[in-house]
Amino acid sequence: DWLFGRVHGRSKFATPAELAALLAPEGEARKEGWVDSDFLAQDWLEEGEGKFVLNHVHADAGWFATQVWGFQEIGGERRYVRNVVVAKGDKFESFKMIYDFVSE
């Protein structure tokens, strides 16, 4: 599109062990320059089957966005959260998106 350019993405379920391997210093995410730390694997509540949604997008314009979706304890409450890392070249921005549940 006009804003982000052409992007290629994939999503899958990942276990904590799979996240740790991906984000390890010798893991694919570090080797490929998607992330610079293990931020994406931090603070998760392991629930149910113990899997998280892992989403990775790369753009023809040279940037990457990698996200992990799940639940974390924020301010004493269980909240839906996405840990996100956006990378381009040697620059990385990490942030946490915390969602509110609003019933009808």
Q: Is pLDDT at 4 greater than 90 in this prediction?
A: no
CB atoms within 10 A of CB 27: 17
Domain count, the chain: 1
Q: pTM for the whole thing?
A: 0.89
Q: Pick the residue with more confidence: 57 or 102? A: 57
Query: Whole domain around residue 17: which residue ranges?
Result: 7-98
For residue 58, list its beta bridge partners: 8, 64
Q: Which two tokens mark 66?
A: 């990698």
- With CA atoms as reference, report the closest residue to 67 among 80, 82, 46, 77: 82
Residue 103 has pLDDT above 70, yes or no: yes
* Residue 29 covered by a domain: yes
Q: Is residue 1 part of a domain?
A: no
- Sign of the C-alpha dihedral, residues 17, 23, 25, 27? positive
Residue 104 lies in a domain: no
pLDDT tens sequence across 44-67: 998 888 899 999 999 998 999 999
Rounded to an integer, the average pLDDT of 28-55 is 93
